[in-house]
Amino acid sequence: MRRVAFLLAVGLSVPGLADAQVLQPSDAVTGPYVAGGLGLNLLPDTRAATQSDAAQQLRNLGIYQNGSVSFDPGFAGVLSLGWGFGNGLRAEVEGNFRRNDLEGAGGFTGAGRLSIGGQQDTYGVMANLLLDLGSFGPVVPYVGAGLGYAVTDWRNMRLTGSAAGVRLHATGTDGRFAFQGIAGFAFPLDFLPGAALTAEYRFFGTLGPNLPIRAENAATGARLAGGSIETDNYNHSVLLGIRYAFNGVPPAPPPAPPAPAPSAVRTFLVFFDWDRADLTERARQIIAEAALNARRAGGSTRIEVAGHADRSGTPEYNQRLSQRRADQVAGELVRNGVDRGDIAITAFGETRPLVATADGVREPQNRRVEIVLR
């Protein structure tokens, strides 16, 4: 049984851990949680060494005073209250209970065939420290250890030897220092944030209990001697359970800030005389107004300056003329306090007329520069 327990522990703690991922915030336990588990408890063959007068009486009757007892598979249950630190480390306080019925006995040479009865209960309180090892797909393996105090309770334990007519009767309790090792898996439930199913193995033991025992006449019940019996108490438990972290429900995300209102686009038109690129007084006023609006925006405004021409000249000449007009307007913006690096200059020649005309027509509205503030 101890070999099986060892293999179980190794199997729980090694496979796949090298590929484990860093524990995600959604899987890490943070804050208070409760956990519980129920399952199978195996109690290996236990030595039973009678002490004091009981041992002497058995020797006087020709019975070897030491033997062993075995137990049927029983059950175990645990209930824990803990705290997760958000980084995989958890601390908890646990209450536990285990029960196994007496199955048989051996040793006590000279007693003949032994008839048996009774059960062993163990209950205690433990302080545990556990570590979640990381996310491995949908599984979070963990290991832990605990120290505490547990009471071993022999309830009407009876060993009756057919040869000597002597019955050993033990009923009583003894509290001892307890210890345990834990290895398991948690399976977080996506549909219930904060909850996880658990499957784990626990090795639980105590220092050797020393329980009261008396030797009595099997036929009459008369007391022959009294003393104590010292035993072992090592348990192997396989438990299925559930854990719930109270703050496992993520807080609702804050509402998204409202989208900024689209900035208003403002356009200023500067017109030119035919075949000219110099600025009129009215043109300078319009450019000054555009510069004032740009400065008020504090540098967050993109300024586009686009030059145009009518169709009264050749396309090549009109392209150069629209460029000179755009450069004049950009220079005036700079003189009015606009950063040159904030200005994008484009020349379109006669390709984008404001008023469509035939080739060679002098159209005043097409001789322009557009200042666009975005």
State the Cα angle at 70 between 67 and 71, rounded to 5°.
150
Q: Using alpha carbons only, what angle is made at residue 147 by residues 231 and 130, rounded to the nearest 5 degrees?
A: 135
Partnered with residue 33 across adjacent β-strands are 82, 245
- Please state, as a whole number, how many other Cβ atoms lie within 10 Å of the Cβ of residue 212: 16
CA dihedral in degrees (340, 344, 345, 349; nearest 10)? Answer: -170
Q: 85 - beta bridge partners?
A: 30
User: What distance separates the 2 farthest-apart alpha carbons in the chain?
Assistant: 140
Q: Answer yes or no: are the C-beta atoms of 110 and 59 closer than 8 Å.
A: no
Lookup: tokens for 145: 């250890």
Alpha-carbon distances, residue 296 vs 41, 290, 335, 353 (angstroms): 80, 10, 16, 31
**234-245 vs 30-42, strand pairing mode:** antiparallel
**Cα-to-chain-centroid distance, residue 341:** 51
- Our CA angle for 83, 13, 142, nearest 5°, is 15
CA distances from 225 to 106, 113, 115, 171 (A): 21, 21, 20, 15
User: How far apart are alpha carbons 115 and 8 in whole angstroms?
Assistant: 34
Predicted pLDDT of residue 59: 67
Residue 255's H or E segment, with its range, is none
- Per-residue pLDDT of 47-65, as tens digits, reads 777 666 666 666 666 666 6
What's the CA gap between 307 and 326, in Å, rounded? 5
* pLDDT tens, N- to C-terminus, the chain (374 residues): 443 343 334 444 444 444 445 555 556 888 999 999 999 999 988 877 766 666 666 666 666 667 778 899 999 999 999 999 988 999 999 999 999 998 877 666 655 556 677 889 999 999 999 999 988 888 999 999 999 999 999 887 776 665 566 777 778 889 999 999 999 999 999 888 889 999 999 999 999 888 777 777 777 777 766 677 788 899 999 999 999 999 765 556 677 777 665 567 889 999 999 999 999 999 999 999 988 888 887 666 788 999 999 999 899 999 999 999 999 999 999 999 888 888 899 999 999 998 999 998 999 999 999 999 88
In 3-state terms, the chain is what percent helix, strand and coil (to 5)?
20, 50, 30
Domains and CATH numbers, the chain: 2-245 (2.40.160.20), 266-373 (3.30.1330.60)
Strand partners, 303: 343, 373
